[in-house]
């Protein structure tokens, strides 16, 4: 009994001494630690090592003599070894205030007391073309081609709105630099007119914005200014310049599509004129309007003479049967027949080019040359008619591809200032600096953990 009391007394002393122990991770042995390490343990900086550099698992702080009533060992209490966070230190709080709170506060004060109200004018437009007539078979292809062309033209207009060419044109027309250098404008959003045009173009990209809906093809134009009438004026001039550009692009596309057709028409017309001039020259040099008609008339004369010769020959044969060859009627008919045949030969000589080794009349040559000229004129006329048809088809095609700017929401003067949206930008500044400060805190904590 006395030994039991002594043991319990020693246990109480052990509980009062609170020796720091550790457990070996391999065989669960209890290892006593140096009491001087209590302070390090309380700060969470204890990194115990086992024998020979072997790691020791510090899993609990327990009294080996403290037993429960049923003789079981007490529950082990884990030891915290985490480093203190940056936000828990004075430096962390100070850095948070300087890096996050102060910029957010300055931004809020700027938008509350210094930022000038900005008025916006919104308008909407679309690049459209006339609907071409097409059958059911090619309607899908026509729609795809038209939509693709209109989308490309819309992107051209959007690029032009943010280009230097438009800014310079507006500056010449309405003195754009003066509009954005109003006395009531704040120092941040006011533009210095002495800056170069490149800076002015970048500045106007913040004051003129566009949104393009690719599904409907609608472009939303938003123009901001320090006065409502200025915003409306700038928006109207932007739309007018965009409309002029669309008309220029349409006229250029029309001219490009018609240029080749017009050149072909001019070539065919020149050929036709040349062929007609050659026919006129031929008629003047030969003193003959239509060699073909003259040849037909000449052939008619020959045919008539041949008919007369045949008739006289028949009469002569009939007289020879009843009369002698020296009879006067027979001699007369023979003379008449010889004269008719001689005249027929003369007429044939006028038609033939060459007969019996002697060159005859040039009627056949003239007729051949005239027919060649007629054939050339016929080809020239057909080519001219075909080129005119091609020109008309190209004109119809260019009209079908004609583009125009359809403005269905016109710019109106604003009654309330919607910009510069101070609450939104204050929240953005807060979020940006908060993220930056959080990344900085993680880096600092990692560096401290590395060097401890």
Last residue of a domain, one of 80, 102, 135: 80
pLDDT digits (tens, 9 = 90+) for 10-57: 444 444 444 444 444 444 444 444 545 444 444 444 444 444 444 444
Q: Which among 9, 34, 23, 20 has a CA at the least distance from the CA of 63?
A: 20
pLDDT at 172: 94
As a whole number, mean pLDDT of residues 67-77 equals 49
Residue 207 lies in a domain: yes
pLDDT at 363: 67
Angle between helices 228-286 and 363-400 (to 10 degrees): 170
Residue 111 lies in a domain: yes
Cβ contacts of 243 within 8 Å, gap of 6 or more: 404, 405, 407
DSSP secondary structure string for all residues of 167-216:
HHHHHHHH-HHHHTT-TTS-TTTPPPTTS-HHHHHHHHHHHEEEEEETTT
CB 359 within 8 A of CB 250: no
Same domain membership, residue 321 and residue 202 = no
Same domain membership, residue 328 and residue 280 = yes
pLDDT digits (tens, 9 = 90+) for 119-130: 999 999 999 877
Residue where the block lists tokens 């020239």: 380
pLDDT digits (tens, 9 = 90+) for 333-379: 788 888 888 877 777 766 654 444 444 445 677 777 888 888 898 99
Q: In what order do the strands lie in the sheet with 218-225?
A: 208-213, 218-225, 119-128, 404-409
Tokens of 366: 């003239």
pLDDT digits (tens, 9 = 90+) for 183-207: 989 888 999 999 999 999 999 999 9
CB burial readout 299-322, b (16+ within 10 A) else e: eebbeebeebbeebeeebeebeee
Same domain membership, residue 188 and residue 167 = yes
More reliable by pLDDT, 21 or 278: 278
Same domain membership, residue 150 and residue 135 = yes
Same domain membership, residue 123 and residue 250 = yes
Indicate the helix (H) or strand (E) that contains 358.
strand 358-359
Same domain membership, residue 255 and residue 121 = yes
More reliable by pLDDT, 358 or 407: 407
Our count of domains for the chain comes to 4
Last residue of a domain, one of 80, 97, 125: 80
Same domain membership, residue 225 and residue 100 = no
Q: What is the average pLDDT value for the chain, to the nearest integer?
A: 76
Measured distance CA(122)–CA(142) in Å, rounded: 32
Same domain membership, residue 252 and residue 127 = yes
How many other C-beta atoms can be found within 10 angstroms of the C-beta atom of residue 391? 19
Same domain membership, residue 198 and residue 100 = no
The domain of 12 spans: 2-80
pLDDT at 345: 76
Residue 265 lies in a domain: no
Read off the CATH number of the domain in which 183 is found: 3.30.1890
Residue 284 lies in a domain: yes
Same domain membership, residue 359 and residue 415 = no
pLDDT at 324: 75
Tell me how far CA of residue 337 lies from CA of 312, 341, 423, in angstroms: 6, 6, 126
Residue 403 lies in a domain: no
Measured distance CA(330)–CA(311) in Å, rounded: 14
Of 61-70, 257-266, 409-418, the range with the lowest mean pLDDT is 61-70
Same domain membership, residue 303 and residue 282 = yes
CB 340 within 8 A of CB 308: yes
pLDDT digits (tens, 9 = 90+) for 440-450: 888 888 887 77
Measured distance CA(161)–CA(210) in Å, rounded: 8
Residue 63 lies in a domain: yes
């Amino acid at each position: 009994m006395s030994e039991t009391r002594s043991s319990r007394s020693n246990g109480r002393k052990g509980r009062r001494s609170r020796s720091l122990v550790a457990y070996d991770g391999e065989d669960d042995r209890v290892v006593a630690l140096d009491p001087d390490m209590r302070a390090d343990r309380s700060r969470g900086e204890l990194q115990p090592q086992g024998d020979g550099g072997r790691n020791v698992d510090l899993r609990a702080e327990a009294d080996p003599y403290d037993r429960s009533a049923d003789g079981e060992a007490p529950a082990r209490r884990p030891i915290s070894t985490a480093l203190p966070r940056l936000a828990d230190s004075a430096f962390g709080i100070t850095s948070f205030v300087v890096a996050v709170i102060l910029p957010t506060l300055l931004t809020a004060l700027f938008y509350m007391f210094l930022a000038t109200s900005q008025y916006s004018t919104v308008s909407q437009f679309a690049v459209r073309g006339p609907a071409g007539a097409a059958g059911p078979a090619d309607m899908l292809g026509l729609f795809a081609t038209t939509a693709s062309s209109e989308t490309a033209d819309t992107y051209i207009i959007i690029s032009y709105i943010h280009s230097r060419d438009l800014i310079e044109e507006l500056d010449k027309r309405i003195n754009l630099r003066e509009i954005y250098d109003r006395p009531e404008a704040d120092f941040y959003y006011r533009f210095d007119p002495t800056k170069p045009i490149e800076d002015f173009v970048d500045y106007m990209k913040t004051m003129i914005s566009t949104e393009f809906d690719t599904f409907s093809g609608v472009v939303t134009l938003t123009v901001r200014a320090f006065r409502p009438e200025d915003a409306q004026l700038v928006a109207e001039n932007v739309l007018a310049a965009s409309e002029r550009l669309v008309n220029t692009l349409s006229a250029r596309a029309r001219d490009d599509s018609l240029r080749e057709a017009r050149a072909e028409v001019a070539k065919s017309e020149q050929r036709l004129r040349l062929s007609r001039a050659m026919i006129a020259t031929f008629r003047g040099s030969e003193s003959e309007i239509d060699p073909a008609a003259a040849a037909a008339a000449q052939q008619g004369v020959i045919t008539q003479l041949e008919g007369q010769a045949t008739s006289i020959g028949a009469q002569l044969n009939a007289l020879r049967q009843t009369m002698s060859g020296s009879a006067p009627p027979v001699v007369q008919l023979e003379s008449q027949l010889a004269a008719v045949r001689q005249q027929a030969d003369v007429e044939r000589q006028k038609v033939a080019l060459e007969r019996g080794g002697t060159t005859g009349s040039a009627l056949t040559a003239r007729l051949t040359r005239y027919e060649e000229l007629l054939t050339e004129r016929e080809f020239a006329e057909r080519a001219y008619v075909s080129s005119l048809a091609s020109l008309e088809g190209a004109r119809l095609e260019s009209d079908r591809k004609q583009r125009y700017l359809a403005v269905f929401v016109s710019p109106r003067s604003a009654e309330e200032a919607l910009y510069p949206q101070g609450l939104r930008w204050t929240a953005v500044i807060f979020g940006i600096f908060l993220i930056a400060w959080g990344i900085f805190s993680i880096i600092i904590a990692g560096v401290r953990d590395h060097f401890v």
